[in-house]
């Protein structure tokens, strides 16, 4: 089974600045998917960005990008031009296949609470 570690319980960033959230994981699989989810106070889990492990190119979605280091099993999230609406819990979530059924589950870490300062 995969495991995931988010070593930063809380981070703060000034509005309009850049912040990086770290994530390391452990897996025995060679091909897998990695996701970052955002959970604002409303509790809704919102997909931020995804990365396929077989792709060398780092994923980018507008102000969000990842630094994926497959050999180091590291998957950090960079948020540029931070906005007040970015304040939330962020979960790194490797995806693990439920092999006998063809579907999958997420392995969630303990999350990083991001505060955005005006």
Find the shortest distance in angstroms from Cβ 34 to other proteins.
Answer: 11
Binding mask 37-56 for other proteins (x = CB under 8 A): -----xxxx-x--x-x----
Binder to other proteins among 2, 21, 27, 35 (CB under 8 A)? Answer: 35
Residue whose pair of structure tokens reads 């995931």 in the numeric block: 4
Exposure class string for 69-84: b at 16+ Cβ within 10 A, else e: eeeebebbbbbeebee
111 with 88: CB under 8 angstroms?
no
CB of 22 to other proteins, least distance (A): 15
Q: Give yes or no for residue 26 binding other proteins (CB under 8 A).
A: no
């Amino acid at each position: 089974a995969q495991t995931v570690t988010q070593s930063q319980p809380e981070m703060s960033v000034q509005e309009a600045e850049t912040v990086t959230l770290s994530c390391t994981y452990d897996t025995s699989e060679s091909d897998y998917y990695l996701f970052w989810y955002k959970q604002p106070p409303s509790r809704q889990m919102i997909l931020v960005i995804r990365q396929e492990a077989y792709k060398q190119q780092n994923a980018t979605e507008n102000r969000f990008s990842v630094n994926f280091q497959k050999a180091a099993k590291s998957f950090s999230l960079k948020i540029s031009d931070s906005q007040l609406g970015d304040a939330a819990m962020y979960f790194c979530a490797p995806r693990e296949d439920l092999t006998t059924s063809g579907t999958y589950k997420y392995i969630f870490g303990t999350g990083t609470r991001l505060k955005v300062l005006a």
